[in-house]
Structure 1
Amino acid sequence: MKKKSIIIGIESSCDETAVSIIRNRYVLSNIIISQKIHKEYGGVVPELASRLHDKNIIRAVHQAFHYAKIKRNQIDAVSFTLGPGLIGSLLVGASFAKSFSMGLGIPLLTVNHVQAHILAHFIQNANISNSYPRFPFLGLVISGGHTQIIEVNDFFQMKILGTTLDDSVGEALDKIARILGFHYPGGPMIEFFSKNGNCKKFVFSKPSVDELNFSFSGLKSNILQFIQKKSKKNPFFIKKNLSDLCASIQKIIAEILLEKVHKATIKTGIFRVALSGGVSANNEIRNMFISLTKREKKWEIFIPKKKYATDNGAMIAITGLLKYEKKLFDSIHVTPYSQFKKF
């Protein structure tokens, strides 16, 4: 009988200290300790983030073992996020993972954060259809730091087809939220107030971007100029139209994403699409992609359950498991990186 491998995954790329333990593809524990302090500053403060990771990581690991009901000597390998992300935060996770690996004499497995978001779909029952996407498929990664369309031909054979030329979609939502008067993180607030809004009330200009790339900076400027113009005439414009504004903003962003993915399916002939990243938890975006599959029968859409959409340790652990099965071990001398690197 094949041995059931147990992997611990450590994620510390931004402001979530996340630790997960999986056995084969089943999650035994998935601990996330969030850093609330960044709300006071309107965004993540790198120095504070790294200090809090240092404070929280031992607690997160203890909780992960407690809920998984296993002992440290049962772990077969340790995986951790090597990048991209905030370098100080990454160093905390890397240092702990290296020490853990050396202390137990087990393999070390480095993980690309973006790749892990996509591979989260291979956790058992990780998406709303409770099924794994078949290769090849298109991955749409939408988060606070990344917006990319990726052709996925195998677990570790991925090619970027399109990327954002400026702001990521999550970053754009947070910046637009500030215009509306919301505190960080603003994306969830836009979604909350959009629920009772008319998404057709306001129309904004879609950026004209070649090929499969994205640009959200121009959209943000268009919305800012529109609101400033309206507010000059009526100081209470935002307050009176908040729900409609939020709904209209969400609609155009979802449409931009959907149109680009549609172009990618035509270009590649691949009609299986897997959403991932924190912004894929947005209900408007999820619903728009689900609606498309009802009109376009050849499309298959895979949408992660919300606990696996945002940054989490399970996505790091599953990527580590897949590398472990292929014996793709890493050196103790690896160095974290902040900027995105090719797969």
Structure 2
Amino acid sequence: MEFKDQEKYMELGKLGLFGVVLGFLGYTFFGILYIFFPMLFMESSVKNGILSTMGVMLGVSVIIGLAFNMLAGLSLFFVFAPMVLAFHYMVTSKRGFMATLILMAVVLILSSVSLQMGLTPLGTVNLEEISEELIQSQIDGVGENLTGLEASRLEENLRLINEMSIKLIPGMFFIFILFTVYLNYVMAGRRLLRHGILINQPPIFSNLQLPRISILVFGIIIGVILLLQNSGMEIYEVIYLNSLLVFGLLFFVNGLALVSNLLGRLKMPNFIKTFIFLGLVFFIPAGAVVVILGLLDTLVVFRKIRIKRE
């Protein structure tokens, strides 16, 4: 019993050390590394227990806060701790991977938005002013070498791009959340497997398929958008654009998985697969076809179609 306790304390000590190192690298060099922060504690919550893991996570956040910025350090805990708790609950309850991913995504969205609203209330952020300053700085950077007409066209194009970018912020945020949750879930699962602990994992990419309810959700959102449009509410455009962005990407990934499955069943060489995937990703008309295939694949299970090879 004492040996197990010692081993557990050593594991928690290494967890704290890795967490501090990752926090240091994320704060000083590569902020993107923070998306891997919860993975360490998700793995530990299953191996070492949720209470001790949460204690180490809080301690790591405080150390990072004392070393750099207390608000930044504690923000890591308040944003990612609920996600770790959701992961631990779903895994120990032996729930399916899709339900686990959805709950983790919802929890991470709520914690991130709550923290952001607490730090910067919505009324204090003037997006139009920020956009105007950004446009002006971009024009000043290249405006000296342009004629009046060219500068006017540049300003018009920049204004359109910035306006569209602002409208798509919710969709891009949601996609980033999905990517973060999926990446941490898969990595935590792989690390647990190395220690002989098996949890429900997403299938390999070629067997990945969106549930049929996704097309129902998409249809409901389109119906809501049409109602808002008929009611004269301008917010329908923002919802429409973000829905197209999110579901377009989901159906695109689903379509790529379907293509990967079909190519695998045809036993295509890897270099041909790579060439086809590059074409599907970078050739826009082909990408549109993949989106349609991905959408149809939520209704018709193409993977069940048998392919006869002579």
TM-score, normalised relative to structure 1: 0.27
**Structure (1/2) with the larger strand percentage:** 1
**Structure (1/2) with the larger helix percentage:** 2
